[in-house]
Amino acid sequence: MAPPKSVKVVELCKVAPAAGSGSGSVIEASLPLSFFDLFWLPVPPTQLLYFYRFPHSSIYFRQSLLPRIKHSLSLTLFHFYPFAGHLSWPPECPKPMIHYAQGDSVSLAIAESDGNFYHLSGNKAQDAKELHPLIPELRVSRSTVPMLALQITVFPDSGICLGVTMPHAVADARTIMNFINAWSSACRLGEISLSTEALPCYEKTVIKDPKGLEEMYLNQLTEHYCKSAGNPRLDVLDFGQPDNTVRATFELSRANIATLKAGAMALHKDKQLPPARLSTFTLLCAYIWVSLVKSGDQRVSLSFNVDCGARQKPPVPATYFGNCVGTRVVTAERADLLRHDGIVIAACLIEESINGLEDGALDGAEGWVSRLLSSKSEGKIWAAGSPRLGIYDADFGWGRPKKVELASIDKTGAIFIRESCNGDGGVEVSLALMKHEMDAFASVFVNGLEAKGSVFHRSGL
């Protein structure tokens, strides 16, 4: 294993929301957490790393680009002002709140590294800890945690890494992408350009709670945190992930995905499942799940995130600020997943669970928090992300990202799924495992895709 390379912070600055043209500054404001937000409260922070090719010196970056980055961030924070505030749950308050006060700001660290940019942004297996120095830290003070921390690390003459950390309880992937893409656009164009329809929606009443989930979750979370004597009330769960994991990324081309779909439909022809019902996400989750089991993983349950916003009545606006993501869990018999048609069995279970959302996106939501607090990630494979995130659209003016990683998967054990950086219809899958587990998984996963004729024949997957 290569020795760790140094990352040195050369500047630490604060960026506050800009004053709006003709409308003054952002006023003090508080936002309550919805039950969706409360569900994600115990989950470790979201940690994203955006890698960009940048064949210039650190001096050029600080003199030519950094002022523009800071200015565009300030412009963007005017519209996304809660990100400059704090999430807190003081003992005297019945529930957590997001609070912004005038003078609040976002921490932005500027760092330099002598590490190998192309190694760190590559797909091959590497020690998961190698990415940790690139991740900005959220400094928790008792019951208060910043909403957002940023770090830009310059690799002289090779690249830039933008690190983003935020509590999972404040935003889901859609909200994060809305913010990052608005910021990158402002940096690229030199001005913020958001139509009225694109402005963040802070109206929490758009989230309907017919089951009284907020009160239920608050009671469960309060009991959990009170039992954790001496810990801050915003502590997150330890998912029990090993410290010495490696992380790797696997790419599936559009042709690979077409082969998966064609094979699944051929094997499942007798049930006449419409091709449109087997989404890319379903196929990917099924293939990853089966590959893990066939490589020796003992977990036979799969947990995956579902977007509940479009399934609310009325639908939640696409610009809603906060979480609107739930979870589903499916379980299979290990022997069934090991069959030659195991991927079809897995896909049908996933598809059946997704189809059940049509009758109610909150079906089973009463058990979300209790299941999370009791079992954590043990016994389940957790799939996060989506091939439709638009995560590679963040062009700050020096091109699209070379690689985007969800660095926090080595804390949660999640599998990160997103579209290919090439924009060619492919998909990328990242996960963190022990070295011997990764070797076994890679063999099954890659050999299955490369198997002659079809990944579903009996001598292969």
Active site residues: 168, 395
C-alpha closest to that of 216 among 206, 224, 205: 224
Longest dimension (CA), the chain: 69
Distance (Å, rounded) from C-alpha 177 to C-alpha 164?
Answer: 11
Distance (Å, rounded) from C-alpha 400 to C-alpha 405?
Answer: 14
Concatenating the DSSP letter of every residue in 416-441 gives: EEEE-TT-SS-EEEEEEE-HHHHHHH
Concatenating the DSSP letter of every residue in 395-416 gives: --SS-S-SEEEETTHHHH--EE
Say if CB 250 and CB 442 are below 8 A apart.
Answer: yes
Distance (Å, rounded) from C-alpha 249 to C-alpha 148?
Answer: 26
Q: Report residue 221 CA to chain centroid gap.
A: 22
Neighbours of 22 (CB within 10 A): 5
Helices and strands (H and E) in the chain: how many: 13, 17
C-alpha closest to that of 200 among 328, 344, 316, 368: 316
